[in-house]
Amino acid sequence: MKKAAGLITSAALVLSLLSGCGGKNDTASTNAGGDNKASGGDTPVTLRMSWWGSDARNEYTQQVIDLYEKEHTNVKIEVEYAAFDDYWKKLAPQAAANQLPDIMQMDISYISQYANNGQLEDLTSYAGSQINTADVAENVLSTGNVNDKLYGVPVGVNVLGFQYDPSMMEKAGISEIPKDWDWDTYQELAKKAGAAGIYFDSSMAPDIFFHYYLRTKGFSLYNAEGNALGYDDDKLFEDFFGMLVEMIKAKAVPTQDILTQTKGIVEENDIVKGKGIGMWQWSNQYVALQQAVNRPMELAPMPGPDMEKGLYMQPSMYFSIASSSKQKEEAAKFIDFWVNDVEANKLIMGERGVPISSKVKEALTPELSETAKQVFDFVTEMEPLSSPMSPPAPAGSSEVREMLGDYAEQMNFEQITPAEAAAKFRGEANAILANNQ
């Protein structure tokens, strides 16, 4: 009897893990919008919209929605938001239950998974009618394509670069970052900083920068079909990650145990503490970093050779419409408002990435803070130097990305050599990608 009681108790406790998660999602999906017909005009329409982001983003997004509701009195927009990780945990069960919000913020690493599962509406026919795309560059809009169909309208674009504090660089005895620098120059400068007791950077996010590196060599992290890795020569892996390991050995980059702890916490970065020069990241992250550092900072392009081949304009996020939505046209109208309305974008102020509409970008420029202007200028400068984006990450890529991160960690801790990691990564990544087909 006791045994049985123990079993049942533990069973209930263990399983409450799973049922607990499910329960939460149920409540999220019960406040689904009504079944209003999408005829526009004065018929009341209730749209559901969801996004991830910080408090600041939640606040101004609500203001944009208020503005829209004021202009379209028949439309009511219900909102759901969460932090990035939680957002996807909420969205997946909603997708399984066919209860996705009408408008949802989509990420580049998830869009193909949702699109291929038929969860998203093809927006090709909306672009140019409900959604005005006259002021949007073609290779920007096409970043929302999966299998040549537009499944997401990019909300803003970002570009990779090196964000640094020139005064710290001077302290390390480096006068400037040369134009058209390459990986050799980078290593030289970084080692110089390391010798001066200053960190040059805080390493590079493995998946993003290895992907960039592969692109400069004419490859990509995933192949076009999304069922295997996109490069064949493990030497590329060894060269890139070997370089990262060497930078740690040269004290140009903090050791992995420090990196693990400070990862994702801007305030703990070495630049903020006056011990480091810069950071490799997306342009939209510059504003937050500059605010934390609170000293004049600059943006430098990525190292080459062949930066033009590697660099791409990445949509910071998309707005997608659920294929199960009953008011797709109304949802599209709101996306149009977001993309093209100047007043709305004066609230947004490029927080979701540099606006894709050239008209909005122009109208916004005089209103921008000095820091935001730097980002706009940098993105504008990089746009002609970029190539079309590789296809969005395939299903299974989140697991591959985590695994690559694990191997990078192991290499940085010197528990595995880049050569061993290259071979293991290839085998395991290909297995995961093939398994997700």
Partner 1 sequence: MRYSPTTSKTKNAPLALNASYSRKKRLRANLTGYAFISPFVIGFLAFTFIPMLVSLYLSFTKYNLFADPVWIGTDNYVKMFTGDANYLNSVKVTFIYVFVGVPLRLAFALAVAMILNSKSRMVGFYRTIYYLPSIIGGSVAVSIMWRNIFSNEGIVNSALNLLGIPNVSWFGNPNASVFMLVTLSVWQFGSSMLIFLAGLKNISQEMYEAASVDGAGAVPKFFKITLPLLSSVVLFNMIMQTIGAFMTFVPAYIISKGEGGPLGGTMLYSLYLFRQAFMFSNMGYASAMAWIMLLFVGVLTGILFKTSKAWVFYESEGGR
Interacting residue ranges for partner 1, rule: CB under 8 A = 2-3, 6-7, 9-19, 21-23, 85, 88-89, 92-93, 95-96, 113-114, 117, 119, 255-264, 268, 273, 395-396, 398-399, 402, 405-406, 409-410, 413, 415, 436
Judged by beta carbon, residue 129 or residue 437, the one nearer partner 1 is 437
Judged by beta carbon, residue 2 or residue 70, the one nearer partner 1 is 2
Judged by beta carbon, residue 262 or residue 365, the one nearer partner 1 is 262
Judged by beta carbon, residue 24 or residue 149, the one nearer partner 1 is 24
- Classify 308 in phi/psi space as left (phi over 0), alpha (psi -120 to 50) or beta: alpha
Answer positive or negative: Cα dihedral of 419, 424, 429, 431.
positive
The distance of closest approach from Cβ of residue 39 to partner 1 in the complex, given in angstroms and rounded to an integer, is 31
Judged by beta carbon, residue 235 or residue 273, the one nearer partner 1 is 273
The distance of closest approach from Cβ of residue 85 to partner 1 in the complex, given in angstroms and rounded to an integer, is 6
Of 155, 136, 78, 137, nearest to 319 (Cα)?
155
Judged by beta carbon, residue 184 or residue 257, the one nearer partner 1 is 257
CA 197 to chain centre: 32
The distance of closest approach from Cβ of residue 19 to partner 1 in the complex, given in angstroms and rounded to an integer, is 5
Q: Which strands, in side-by-side order, build the sheet including 103-106?
A: 75-82, 45-52, 103-106, 314-321, 153-158, 354-355
Yes or no: say if 429 and 403 are a contact pair by the CB < 8 Å rule: yes
The distance of closest approach from Cβ of residue 144 to partner 1 in the complex, given in angstroms and rounded to an integer, is 20
Q: How far apart are CA 6 and CA 12, in angstroms?
A: 10
Q: Integer distance in angstroms from the first to the last C-alpha of the chain?
A: 47
CA 432 to chain centre: 22
Structural Rg of the chain based on CA atoms? 23
Judged by beta carbon, residue 13 or residue 134, the one nearer partner 1 is 13
Yes or no: say if 131 and 123 are a contact pair by the CB < 8 Å rule: yes
Yes or no: say if 314 and 346 are a contact pair by the CB < 8 Å rule: no
The distance of closest approach from Cβ of residue 415 to partner 1 in the complex, given in angstroms and rounded to an integer, is 7
The distance of closest approach from Cβ of residue 66 to partner 1 in the complex, given in angstroms and rounded to an integer, is 31
The distance of closest approach from Cβ of residue 315 to partner 1 in the complex, given in angstroms and rounded to an integer, is 22
Judged by beta carbon, residue 12 or residue 195, the one nearer partner 1 is 12
Tokens, residue 70 = 């004021």
* Beta-carbon contacts of residue 122 (< 8 Å; ≥ 6 apart): 149, 150, 151
Q: How far apart are CA 92 and CA 50, in angstroms?
A: 13
Yes or no: say if 177 and 188 are a contact pair by the CB < 8 Å rule: no
DSSP per-residue letters across 297-364:
-EEEPPPBSSHHHH--PEEEEEEEEBTT-S-HHHHHHHHHHHHH-HHHHHHHTTTTSEESBHHHHHHH
Judged by beta carbon, residue 22 or residue 41, the one nearer partner 1 is 22
Judged by beta carbon, residue 149 or residue 273, the one nearer partner 1 is 273
The distance of closest approach from Cβ of residue 26 to partner 1 in the complex, given in angstroms and rounded to an integer, is 10
The distance of closest approach from Cβ of residue 191 to partner 1 in the complex, given in angstroms and rounded to an integer, is 23
Phi, psi (rounded to 5 degrees) for 161: -175, 180
Judged by beta carbon, residue 163 or residue 269, the one nearer partner 1 is 269
The distance of closest approach from Cβ of residue 273 to partner 1 in the complex, given in angstroms and rounded to an integer, is 8
DSSP 8-state class, residue 175: -
The distance of closest approach from Cβ of residue 379 to partner 1 in the complex, given in angstroms and rounded to an integer, is 28
Q: How far apart are CA 257 and CA 277, in angstroms?
A: 19
Tokens, residue 49 = 């919209």
DSSP 8-state class, residue 381: H
